[in-house]
A and B are shown apart, each in its own frame.
Chain A
Amino acid sequence: MSAPLISLQGLSKSFQGNDAVKFVDLTVDKGEFYGILGPSGCGKTTLLKMIAGLEEPSAGRVIIDGLDMSPVPANRRPVNTVFQSYAIFPHMSLEDNISYGLKLKGIGSGELKKRVLDMLDVVDLKGLERRWPDQLSGGQLQRVALARALIMQPKVVLLDEPLAALDAKLRETMKYELVKIQKEIGITFIMVTHDQQEALSMMDKIAVMNEGRIQQVDQPNLLYEKPKNLFVANFIGSANCLMGRVAKVEKGRTHVMLADLNQEIIAFSCENFKVSDRVQVIIRPEKLTFQDIELPSNHEKTINRVSGKLLEIIYHGGVSTFRVGFKNKNLKPLIVSQLNDDQQTKDGYRIGSHVEVCWRLDAATLVPVI
């Protein structure tokens, strides 16, 4: 196990008493496509700027490749940034923008030319080198910003919502482009985004952030399957949440009493809960079903079932979502998501009819309530 490339230790920043970033500890390995995901205003940009040295931390340290970066100013850190607004120099041609950093380093014109051409090839901007920034499209500007950072061959490239300013279609293409370039070049990327789809599909590892704190760090699939708290569950995809109390703990299984429904359910759980702990039961909409899929297996219960009334069906094309309400009108309706691949889902349900909603024991995640 080699040492991490970047480690943040208790990194904090407050602006006139307002904490923007609070005690962030993170480690990023070499070659990783690392994501920082969080809602607008949660401190993502501030965190990136502290790594780049453009913002002074109030407390904590940034360590890159074993070196404490505290005394190193931004212009001498082995880090380059793709800014949220791209920050392309408007008075320089595309070529001058890309080569700006290398010229400062005093790279000779022969090598400079070669490296710029190589980089134009990587970001697919060949033939545009004489263009001015106001003659480029948004997607092209974004690639100039990326090229300007990559050509410096830094240890880390920081990307601040690089796709946010692009239209939906272009965003989709650039998503794969970015991942491809990162894997090709092998430079570590730390990318900030508030778009969970973007994060899940692009990144090797994601740190979810809220109100300046890291909520959970995991691989995308674990983040989705095993959220550590309600914020993460709700922020990544959508989630149903039921409140309950632990009634009984067996090996690997936890019985939860749902007081609102006056019913007990069972969940697999790797966390150690104690009887009468308050917990939230989190279930993804697509893990809920109306079909009774209980298998007759040696007397053990393998499925949970709650009943309710079908309130609404929303057709989305490939899938439909169903809202199922409970007798207790104060409870939030369950959201059930089903593939529209069989006739039954289309015809079998009438709004207002009584339905049974089922889920397998391993489908739910238990989250402690603090």
Chain B
Amino acid sequence: MLSDRFRAKNENSRKVFLVTFLPPTIWLILFLFAPVLIIVVYSFSQKVGLINIEVNWVMDNYWRAADPLYLKIFAKSFYIAGTTTFLCLVISFPVVLAITKIRQNWKLIILVLLMLPFWINLLIRTYALIAVLRTRGFLNSGFEWIAAHLGLRFEPVQFLYNDTAIIIGLVYIHLPFMILPIYAGLEGFDETLKQAAEDLGSSSMQVYRHIVFPLIRPSVFAGCMLVFIPALGSYLTPELLGGTDGQLIANVIERQFKHANDWPFGAALSMVLIYVTCGVIAVWLLVAKRKKS
């Protein structure tokens, strides 16, 4: 009797488990773990002939990825993603401080405006940026117009097709990912903590250094991750805004899969990117933890 009820209950909870946990689990297995597993297997394989791939567990692809040519592209990708993250951080702070200070009903409008670009396709936004930055674009025309009025000679500035253009594009695209988490951290910030610090003798700079920054560090960390990781793997922006040498690692990977038709090598490069990204996050977390204690 009792065991019957127990079994019925058990049966029930198993159904609940199946219904709620199975679909996401299957989804994850099908669309995340399986592809990654395939990439892992490919990365240890070899290309034979034009289309055939032989799975023979060799490290050749990884040795090839260690070539200085590719290491340099990795380093450059890191440099550009890092610079992008840093610039987003520097730009976000004053913006967020300003947003928290304005009146409540304006806040919502500003936040919606910040989100607005997400409603437009990335490709279109990037082309719009090209329209602004190119030699006969809005920015240069604007300068030219000013120069003409001042009676100066003006040579159009080459904004596009270099690393700076990539960084400008990446910062433009990723800024909201930095602003929103930091805003979330600062918006709910307990004003009395600031007042307590001030009451104990802090200047307003010290209030930020000792109280505000340490307490919103998790939000800042989240923002940095949300910018750094997509920027590191960005493909479209360097493709469209970068120069001939403006290849980042994602572009190289894409070429291996498509033009070079060398899936094993592309897979190896992808895996290296994943390892390195995980490594960066791990180191970052360790540093953050060390600082707390």
Contact = CB atoms under 8 A, between A and B. Distances in A.
Given A54-B195, A100-B197, A90 B206 contact: no
B196 A104 contact: no
A75 B196 contact: no
Given A90-B215, A91-B215, A104 B201 contact: yes
A162 B202 CA distance: 23
Contacts of A75: 198-203
A91 B197 contact: no
Contact of A81 (B196, B203, B214, B215): B196
B201 A105 contact: yes
A104 B206 contact: yes
Interface string A59-102: 00000000000000111100111011101011100000000110
Contact of A54 (B199, B203, B211): B199
A148 interface: yes
A91 B209 CA distance: 13
Contacts, number: 55
A214 interface: no
Contact of A80 (B193, B200, B203, B215): B200
A73 B207 CA distance: 14
B155 interface: no
Contacts of A85: 190, 192
Given A83-B192, A104-B206, A89 B199 contact: no
A152 interface: yes
A217 interface: no
21 contacts: A52-B199, A54-B198, A75-B201, A75-B203, A76-B201, A80-B199, A81-B195, A81-B199, A83-B196, A85-B190, A87-B190, A87-B192, A87-B195, A89-B197, A91-B292, A100-B197, A100-B210, A101-B200, A104-B200, A104-B202, A104-B206
A72 B202 CA distance: 13
Nearest to B200: A101
Contacts of B200: 75, 80, 100-101, 104, 148, 152
Nearest to B204: A75
A102 to B, nearest CB: 9
Contacts of A49: 195
Contacts of B203: 75
A252 to B, nearest CB: 50
Nearest to A84: B192
Contacts of B206: 104
A79 B193 CA distance: 16
Interface residues on B, range: 10 to 19
Nearest to B199: A81
A65 to B, nearest CB: 18
Interface in A29-51: 49
Interface residues on A, range: 20 to 34
Interface string A210-238: 00000000000000000000000000000
Given A75-B203, A104-B206, A87 B198 contact: no
What 4 pairs across the A-B complex have the smallest Cβ distances? A101-B200, A87-B196, A87-B192, A104-B201
Interface in B149-208: 190, 192-193, 195-203, 206
A49 B198 CA distance: 12
A195 to B, nearest CB: 21
Given A54-B195, A91-B292, A101 B201 contact: yes
Nearest to B211: A89
Interface string A142-154: 0000001000100
A353 B233 CA distance: 91
B215 A74 contact: no
Contacts of B214: 91
A148 B214 CA distance: 20
A64 to B, nearest CB: 14
Interface string A112-123: 000000000000
A90 B196 CA distance: 12
Contact of B193 (A54, A87, A104, A148): A87
Nearest to A55: B195
Given A91-B214, A91-B215, A74 B196 contact: no
Contacts of A89: 193, 196-197, 211
Interface string A301-344: 00000000000000000000000000000000000000000000
Contacts of B199: 52, 54, 74-75, 79-81
Contacts of B197: 89, 100
Nearest to A104: B201
A325 B142 CA distance: 88
Nearest to B190: A87
A147 to B, nearest CB: 12
A46 B230 CA distance: 48
Contacts of A87: 190, 192-193, 195-196
B10 to A, nearest CB: 38
The winner among B192, B200, B201, B215 for most chain A CB atoms within 10 A is B200
A141 to B, nearest CB: 12
A236 to B, nearest CB: 29
A101 B211 CA distance: 13
The winner among A73, A83, A84, A148 for most chain B CB atoms within 10 A is A83
B195 A83 contact: yes
